[in-house]
Structure 1
């Protein structure tokens, strides 16, 4: 064999090893090739090795999808699109006017951004690389896993008047990957609907469903509405879940107590103002302190320090008149009309900005 053919053989063997290694890796994660048909746009987050965790509320299911996301050279700050909706629509072959943007998630291993989108009654995924190039993620045949949630609300309209709605749409309100596990918030069927679901990744059968409730100081009563958004983090060394609810209590749940036993009442650590719904949260470190950044429908973006956030008994008395109480916060005036956001690096975040009807824009910002 010539030297040239020998080199070719070595290269071919290396490529095969890489390919087989990738396939073995995804197989070890419980992923297998096949189509993914998303029924609805739900929350997303990344696990490891480019695996995207995405909730599908309509199906009451969570998918793990091997996105094959690779590191790309580029400066995203100087590559942000002027027409985000148009670029996303072009990637999936749709008209911009027909496109709906769902969630946005940054792969922390590559810095690339994945969007969930919907057009012509079909849901899909599009990746924006750091060089500003957009790429459709082909869901027709992709390594993935699927986890069906137990006991979701029925997929039907219920209630009367202003309370008329399909509770299935809240079967999944947020997802996170933490310490090798997937955590899901949302509603379940039954008399105590607000739930936190935990299961390992790779997906397995040992699912823990915990029903939760809170003292809503703005309303002066105990409630079991759905968590709207949350972040898992360690508070004073204890794994915890900080959750935001409509109208806008911030509540701490020790993850160790979410064991599937009795209903868990979280500690209300702050009331952040009424007539508002929290949209998204990110957590980050700055100058040795862990901070929470919270976007809202009506009260802008808030920065909340977690320092001493678990001290004391929490809020136990009513907070009237739309007032705020508990853990102090700072409103970030430079971030307005934020609908989605994620941490881009240890020092920067990226936000999807725009009022309903406006052209959506992306903004990269320094973590405050």
Structure 2
């Protein structure tokens, strides 16, 4: 499932039900200290998911332009169970929701920090929202969102449904122009919320606003009390050879870098950027420090893990396999600016890329669409299987490699000596 498919799902909901979407003025002020009074009463789209440490599930709704908070309870740590392995997760969800498989779109994933239940944000049918819970033992259930007594926070400066992207027909030889035109008709509102993380008692929301300087990072206090802040974020994009203010953060995490609490952000084509959280003040315009570039592609997930005992970030990307980025490499990292960056255009084939302390590429069979930490030993991934094409929910080892040996054929599959045998 591609990110464009997810955006198209939002687009379909917006077009099919324009009356359901709050109309927000383009002239919203830079400050968003006061939450919008147009607080939606009901979830209209289940998108990005994240949890607080005590089990509050946050659901991003790009149709409403809001975040919903659902207390799931702290729960208890599960008994030992085999690593999660569910082939055809979209088939199983379709059967449970009594919907066609073709109408199922998984838009987000998060793991409950205590129970290790996996939560999936789903659109089904004509774009109806649902959140599906998968237990460590593999049992599926639909979360009763109404019973969870949610609270919500509305984004006052979200793009309106009639704002669209540029038609890029002719920028590249493929695909045909009608697909670029279809992409351009996607409402920019679909990127109001691109990623969310709960950190030190606050919800951080990356996405775009309705301003010309649209790349925005919002901080929201929880429980929602009307207090929030909005910071416009600029970066120097090494591969694009320009400062950028429009494209949003695609994935983010937090780490202590050079003694400061720091947001680590990944952008499309694919810079790694550091932004001290102390700079994220309401109404500010900040420039993140670009310290590396993973190469062409679109980041999907950044997951904080211990890899071989070292704090690291597991980074997945729609354009290539995952990388493991050691936090130690980001300490004292050089910032890339126009005067010290390679020049000559975009291209993974160029010897300069990957650039900077962006870790190592890891073997991963298939394409990980969403990833999160399942427990201290395993990651969990929504994976497009490289052999069958099926959509699977699977646990993979955090170390030494996030792979499953049933998916590749090697010397050790033949009769005779196995690994470690001479």
- TM-score of the pair, normalised by structure 1: 0.84
Aligned ranges for residues 157-172 of structure 1 at < 5 Å? 157-162=163-168, 163-172=184-193
The Cα of 1:40 is off from its aligned counterpart by 2.2
What is the aligned partner in structure 2 of residue 336 from structure 1? 366
Distance 1:223 1:272, change over 3 A: same
Give the gaps of 5 or more residues in structure 2: 1-39, 169-183, 348-352, 400-422
- Kindly state the Cα deviation for residue 160 of structure 1 after the two structures are TM-superposed: 4.1
Aligned to 1:246: 268
Residue aligned with 1:227, SS: coil
**3-state SS of paired residue (1:158):** coil
Aligned length: 333
**Which residue matches 2:396?**
365
C-alpha change, 1:262 and 1:188, in structure 2 (3 Å) is same
Distance 1:89 1:37, change over 3 A: farther
Corresponding residue of 1:263: 285
Does the 8 A contact of 1:101 with 1:115 survive in 2? Answer: yes
1:282 to 294, 303, 309: 303
Of 199, 208, 222, the match for 1:187: 208
Aligned equivalent of 1:326, options 356, 376, 393: 356
SS at match of 1:151: coil
SS class of match (1:127): strand
Q: Extract structure 1 runs of 4+ deviating beyond 6 A.
A: none
SS in 2 for 1:143: coil
Query: The residue matched to 1:168 in structure 2 has which SS?
Result: helix
Deviation at 1:57, TM superposition (A): 1.4
Who is 1:201 aligned against?
A: 222
Deviation for aligned residue 1:37 = 3.2
- Asked if 1:234 corresponds to 2:256, the answer is yes
From 151, 154, 157, give the equivalent of 2:160.
154
CA distance 1:36–1:300, change in 2 (3 Å)? farther
1:78, distance to aligned residue in structure 2 (A): 5.1
State the partner residue of 2:232.
211
User: What secondary structure, in the 3-state scheme, does the structure 1 residue paired with 2:92 have?
Assistant: helix
- In the other structure, the counterpart of 2:68 is 63
Assess, with a 3 A threshold, how the Cα gap between structure 1 residues 324 and 180 changes in structure 2: closer, same or farther. same
Residue in 2 that maps onto 1:177: 198
Runs of 5+ in structure 1 lacking a partner? 1-34
From the two aligned structures, give the one with the greater strand fraction: 1
Shift of 1:48: 3.3
How far apart, in 1, do the equivalents of 2:389 and 2:41 lie? Answer: 31
Aligned counterpart, 1:50: 55
Distance 1:102 1:74, change over 3 A: farther
